[in-house]
Structure 1
């Protein structure tokens, strides 16, 4: 059993208004008290790269300096990958290329970086993609390959098809909602295995999507996102307790058994 291993899943662009009715399997876990769900408000601006940095370092965009998607540089903050490496834990990610640029090497070079296996990097084992239409089904296979081959203590999984469909068809479209349903079905293949093996699993989103096929502002459909905590390692009686997007890094660290600042208010979320 993996008592102190964590999988963080980021479903890019999944707004609360769709997550609350389209993610049937995740909500089934909540109803059976194997998971709990919270509504978060993302930081501003509600853009992807700034919010990747927010989720993975606990720094909002004004503090981190990653203010928009075109800033291509290594993070100057201490990410969950760096915290894990300091503790001699193993890290891995199946994720969009911007994650590699933030925490491994910038700019991203697909030939060099798509398949990364380097113990000196913050993300030691990575399979990165660079097209928004890269299938979520393939991405989850990449993640499972990393998990079974390298047995990381912290695994980050980052899907893109929900966001891609939102940009193509809008946040109030069948395509967007069905992309959410599809990734929920895909997760239903993997979550039982990971739960059985004792992983603490966190599922969240960076931002939502508006009817104009975009995001970046402070409309509720852009800012409100879900946070699902899955597995026996979490206290599912803590539902209703407030949690913020900037606390996700420290929640991951605490779940890994790492000491972090300001963690007392997060302890109720762990069993």
Structure 2
């Protein structure tokens, strides 16, 4: 089944519990389910992009801080999709391009990617943390409509950006989360009507020191929302961040060798 993975960078579950009104409303209507999970350590962005997309924790992947600027040595969702003859696309921060396509990121070459030979053949990649989430979701929808990808990654940065500027307990941080929820209310109904399975999660959370990286609950507890008929919506499922890659591969029905959370998925899957 075609799948969209939305990563809301820096969204702590502490705020997601009450700020994501639209997503919780869809769950209340039986169209999805809300879980929480604990991110791997260190609770930093580039290491956890790698973890989400490959199923490998940072201490094993070697992507242990944001300054590790090299291609991933692991098999990612993008690689499995490519090997199955399917298509991937990404509207995401440029570190994703550096992990799976080419590094270093050269904006004139890589910002708008159309390269069928690469693991992410279709992409819009940005490098400014303040790049508007509104534009990012429009970038993603343009990729979906133009290239009809089987797997689409959407990765927004504005929540994390506000957290670094103002902190977890700030009005600005909470309102950025609400804005992301609003953007999703614009796009998610159409994705579901078109038959997509949709996962919304975060890489890590945020603290009141305007940072993250450690193991405080507000840094490590992140939301996981799932939508679509392939999901079981079992309340007792206990997904792990290292299982997201394999779970996406199961949804896409592509061969993989990653751990996955069977309890998240309905059986038998259609």
Q: TM-score, normalised by structure 1?
A: 0.96
Kindly state the Cα deviation for residue 262 of structure 1 after the two structures are TM-superposed: 5.9
- Asked whether 1:138 is paired with 2:135, we answer yes
Task: For 1:157 and 1:241, locate their aligned partners in 2 and report how far apart those are by CA, in whole Å.
Answer: 24
- Asked whether 1:256 is paired with 2:243, we answer no
CA contact (8 A) 2:200 2:226 kept: yes
CA contact (8 A) 1:254 1:263 kept: no
Task: For 1:254 and 1:178, locate their aligned partners in 2 and report how far apart those are by CA, in whole Å.
Answer: 34
- Asked whether 1:266 is paired with 2:265, we answer no
Pair 1:103–1:218, CA change in 2 (3 A) = same
Task: For 1:8 and 1:101, locate their aligned partners in 2 and report how far apart those are by CA, in whole Å.
Answer: 19
Name which of 155, 160, 184 aligns with 1:158: 155
Kindly state the Cα deviation for residue 188 of structure 1 after the two structures are TM-superposed: 0.3
- Asked whether 1:60 is paired with 2:91, we answer no
Count of residue pairs the alignment pairs up:
267
Gaps of 5+ in 2: none
- Which whole-Å deviations, capped at 9, do the CAs of 1:119-178 have from their partners, x for residues lacking one? 000000000000000000000000000000000000000000000000000011110000
- Which whole-Å deviations, capped at 9, do the CAs of 1:90-130 have from their partners, x for residues lacking one? 01000000000000000100010000000000000000000
Task: For 2:261 and 2:248, locate their aligned partners in 1 and report how far apart those are by CA, in whole Å.
Answer: 14
- Asked whether 1:243 is paired with 2:228, we answer no
CA contact (8 A) 1:115 1:127 kept: yes
CA contact (8 A) 2:195 2:228 kept: yes
Partner of 1:6: 3
Where does 1:128-207 land on structure 2 (aligned, <5 Å)? 128-207=125-204
CA contact (8 A) 1:117 1:125 kept: yes
Task: For 2:33 and 2:257, locate their aligned partners in 1 and report how far apart those are by CA, in whole Å.
Answer: 24
Q: Secondary structure at the match of 1:126?
A: strand
Task: For 2:231 and 2:141, locate their aligned partners in 1 and report how far apart those are by CA, in whole Å.
Answer: 22
CA contact (8 A) 1:208 1:215 kept: yes
Name which of 217, 222, 247 aligns with 2:219: 222
